[in-house]
Amino acid sequence: MTVVTGSADGPVLALIAGTHGSEPSPIVALQRVRNELDPLTLRGTVILVHIANLPSFVHRTIYRGPWDQKNLNRVFPGKADGTASERIAYAITTQVIDQCDYLVDIHSGDGNEALRPYSYWNQLGLDERVDVTAREMALAFGLDHIVVDRGRPRDPAATQFCSNTAHVRGKPAVTTEAGGVGVPTEEMVSCNARGAFRVMRYLDMLPGPKETVERPRWIDPSVVLTSPGTGTWYPAVQPDEHVSEGALFGRLTNYFGDVIAEVRSPLAGVVMYVVVSPAMSEGEPLGMVGAVTVAALPA
Ligand SMILES: [Zn+2]
């Protein structure tokens, strides 16, 4: 972690990368933020968690940690005496989330996922101020597709997700997604670094003009498609592609290449991400499709 303390008092913003270790665009972006952030012009404090899931990064795992096969972003708020992932979650809850006022958990597509950039807005319904501020933070970060999520747990003892843990505790938080397939492209690294500085300006932590997404695309509803079996995955779509209801999303074959299932989109919308590598197990994500709304902000 890096803690940058500004020359003037202000809010505490936590920026987290590497909750999933094979999502390097956010990790490289926070190294850039560390270099470029000037404490003399900063108001408040920025906590940078450079690689939240170090075992996953070092061992190059997707989704789950190497030692307990648990998804760090499903075990929050964690346990002090739990498995490795649960202990990491507990450390982040107590040493980062409990210490901050605002939080951005910066993700990308995982090592097997191609993705079009988007944010999640957690419309939790517990505290109007927290929901509205989180929505404004998502717009400030700058990704113009924003998935509206109303299904996150409200029980403080079982918050599951990193950003939801902050949100349930009254701290506005967003999850962002930019980058994918394990490659930190310059475009996606700079996108994530720029988003971090935009949020700091939104929170009046840095001088300069505040920017927001002028014409957001609200993604509501959205569906994560999961695999009906175990075998070899052949995607038929690409990120950002518009698909109709019933359109072929991809085919699953057995290990000899014989088709055992065709997967079709359950709704019309845009492909937010799609798994692009062949290894596939029953119940695993294949990708995500969301319906696009350009109209007014959701109530
Ligand atoms: Zn992730």
For residue 62, report the distance from its CA to the centre of ligand 1, in Å: 9
Rounded CA-CA distance 181/60 in Å is 12
In whole angstroms, how large is the CA radius of gyration of the chain? 19
Residue 202 CA to ligand 1 center (angstroms) comes to 24
Query: How many angstroms is it from 107 CA to the middle of ligand 1?
Result: 5
Q: Which residue is it, tokens 């190497």?
A: 66
Q: Sign of torsion, CA 90 96 100 106? A: negative
- Between the CA of 177 and the centroid of ligand 1 the distance, in Å, is 7
Q: Which residue has the higher pLDDT, 195 or 151?
A: 195
- The Å distance, Cα 9 to ligand 1 centre, comes to 32
Tell me the per-residue pLDDT of 110-124, one tens digit each, with 9 for 90 and over: 999 999 999 999 999
Q: Where are the alpha helices (DSSP H) in the chain?
A: 24-36, 54-58, 84-95, 128-141, 162-168, 186-202
What does DSSP assign to residue 298?
Answer: P
Q: How far is CA 5 from CA 28, 101, 196, in A?
A: 21, 14, 16
CB 75 within 8 A of CB 41: no
The span from the CA of 184 to the CA of 21, in Å, is 12
Tell me how far the alpha carbon of residue 120 lies from the centroid of ligand 1, in angstroms: 12
pLDDT at 75: 98
d(CA 41, ligand 1 centre) in Å? 31
Ligand 1 centroid to 214 CA: how many Å? 26
How remote is the CA of residue 20 from the centroid of ligand 1, in Å? Answer: 5
Q: What is the mean pLDDT of the chain?
A: 96
| Strand pairing category for 285-293 and 269-275 | antiparallel
Q: How confident is the model at residue 70 (pLDDT cuts 50, 70, 90)?
A: very high
Distance 8 CA to ligand 1 centre (A): 33
Task: Please state the separation of Cα 213 from the chain's center in Å.
Answer: 18
Instruction: Give the whole-angstrom CA distance, residue 111 versus residue 46.
Output: 28
> How large is the average pLDDT for residues 288-293?
94
* Nearest CA among 277, 285, 264 for reference residue 233: 277
Encode pLDDT of 193-236 as tens digits: 999 999 999 999 999 999 999 999 999 999 999 999 999 999 99
State the DSSP code for 160.
B
Over range 82-87, report the average pLDDT: 98
Half-sphere exposure of 38 (CA within 13 A, CB side): 4
pLDDT score for 229: 97
Report which residue type is found at 223. V
pLDDT digits (tens, 9 = 90+) for 37-66: 999 999 999 999 999 999 999 999 999 999
Partnered with residue 224 across adjacent β-strands are 288
CA angle 164/169/173 to nearest 5° reads 45
Tokens describing residue 283:
């119940």
pLDDT at 72 over 50: yes
